Amino acid sequence: MTFSRTAPVAVFDSGVGGIGVLREVKKLLPHEDLLYFGDDAMAPYGERPTDEVRALVLDHAQRLLRLAKALVLACNTATAAAAQELRQHYPTIPIIGMEPAIKPALKVAPHPRILILATPTTLREAKLRTLLRLHATRAVFYKCPAPELVRLVEEGLADSPEADRYLDRILAPFSGTHRPDAVVLGCTHFPLAKDAILRHFGNDMPLFDGAVGTARELARRLAAENLLNPTEREGAVTLTSSAPHMLPLYHKLFYA
């Protein structure tokens, strides 16, 4: 399967969370046409069984890759569940996944305490366990599942009293001697709730997410495979969802 360099790049997420990744891709690759799809009708992915998530991702990827020259899985859960299989199915197409931003978080202190805020599926997948084992001697890692935060973001309540109450409850154990030195946002929805997270920890808490790194990896892969769009015009952005009523929120978040 081959594509013209002028074909779009597809960016996929379980919902609105990948909009942050889309914005970073747009900044770095302004001449690329971008096709965004969020599967809001089935969100949140992070509470679904891995096999179900994998099936959903493979189905949507098959449809998107009829048009796109590359696919960005702007979702940590989708990446953990299906990236490897997608790369086997589409060996000639760049498939770019998300990875929790643990490596930059390691630099905040000599032996930092790092809190990983993610979905239950991401936290239980082998991909994250392998990454934590790799750096086990360099930091103390805390893991905190936050599935309700995905729902709050999807409902446009990322910066709300409801979000504050939820975060205060689930983050209560991470205080005092267990207060982290950095927080890794292991779900693309969570940067949209960064104001609420900072209200809990304070504005001096370093937050890390993988959006910029993912955009850079996409740019690297497109360049390496001679797939960068040669045009000098501004690329078009198409926003789509399996739940069309979410599109006004997509537009609000992307064009804010």
Give me the active site residues, please.
Answer: 75, 187
DSSP per-residue codes, 29-93: -TTS-EEEEE-GGG--GGGS-HHHHHHHHHHHHHHHTTT-SEEEE--HHHHHHHHHHHHHH-TTS
d(CA 90, CA 97): 14
DSSP code, position 159: S
Other Cβ atoms within 10 Å of 103 Cβ, number: 16
For residues 31 and 9, what is the distance between their CA atoms, to the nearest angstrom?
A: 11
Among residues 199, 203, 206, 163, the alpha carbon closest in space to that of 185 is found at 206
Angle at 120 between CA 190 and CA 172, to 5 degrees: 65
Angle, helices 194-201/161-170, rounded to nearest 10 degrees: 50
Chain-centroid distance, C-alpha 111: 26
Q: Can you read off the two tokens belonging to residue 59?
A: 């189905």
Give the Cβ contact number of residue 62 at 10 Å.
12
